[in-house]
Homo-oligomer: A and B are copies of this chain.
Amino acid sequence: MNQGAPVLKIDLASSEAAYEQITSGLRTLLVAGQFRPGSQLPTVRELAMDLGVHHNTVAEAYRILADEGWLDLKRGRGATVVERPRPQATPESHARFSRRLQELVARAITEGVPRAAIVGELDGLTRKLQTGGIE
């Protein structure tokens, strides 16, 4: 992204809104430690141009991530990644994760993704979580 290479892709044909796709994609990169605290994200206009979306769409994603504590937004200075205090999970956020995980697997099975491939993905992610590959 620093080299202007797009690291995010969005699918305009998806039923998921573009700002949600951008938010999810950036959040995944942030959680994976791809952007260290102090580093700068592209400006709203740069990223909007890269992705081919309206700049309001990117601005909305940046606002959500700022509200979540990932970014510091300063007019004219772009978006800076900040050290994020770990929030306390609510029982709802745990329950929501559990439900969404089941829904996601149900969808994959419906689409014919082989059980072994699904188990492989779950295992791979578990290992990453246990070895600190995801912060």
Give A residues with C-beta under 8 Å from B: 15, 17, 20, 24-25, 27-28, 30-32, 68, 70, 86-90, 93-94, 97-115, 117-119, 121-123, 125-126, 129-130, 134-135
| Tally of this chain's copies | 2
B125 touching A111, Cβ below 8 Å: no
B32 touching A106, Cβ below 8 Å: yes
B122 touching A126, Cβ below 8 Å: yes
B123 touching A28, Cβ below 8 Å: no
Contact residues in B for A121 (Cβ distance below 8 Å): 97-98, 101
Contact residues in B for A25 (Cβ distance below 8 Å): 103
Contact residues in B for A114 (Cβ distance below 8 Å): 89
Complex Cα spacing A5 to B7, Å: 46
Nearest CB of B to A117, in Å: 6
Complex Cα spacing A125 to B102, Å: 8
Q: Sorted from nearest, which 10 A-B pairs have the closest CB atoms?
A: A89-B112, A87-B112, A31-B106, A93-B111, A97-B108, A28-B106, A24-B103, A89-B113, A122-B122, A27-B106
A15 touching B20, Cβ below 8 Å: yes
Contact residues in B for A125 (Cβ distance below 8 Å): 101-102, 105, 122
Given A118-B129, A119-B129, A126-B119: A134 in contact with B110 (beta carbons within 8 A) = no
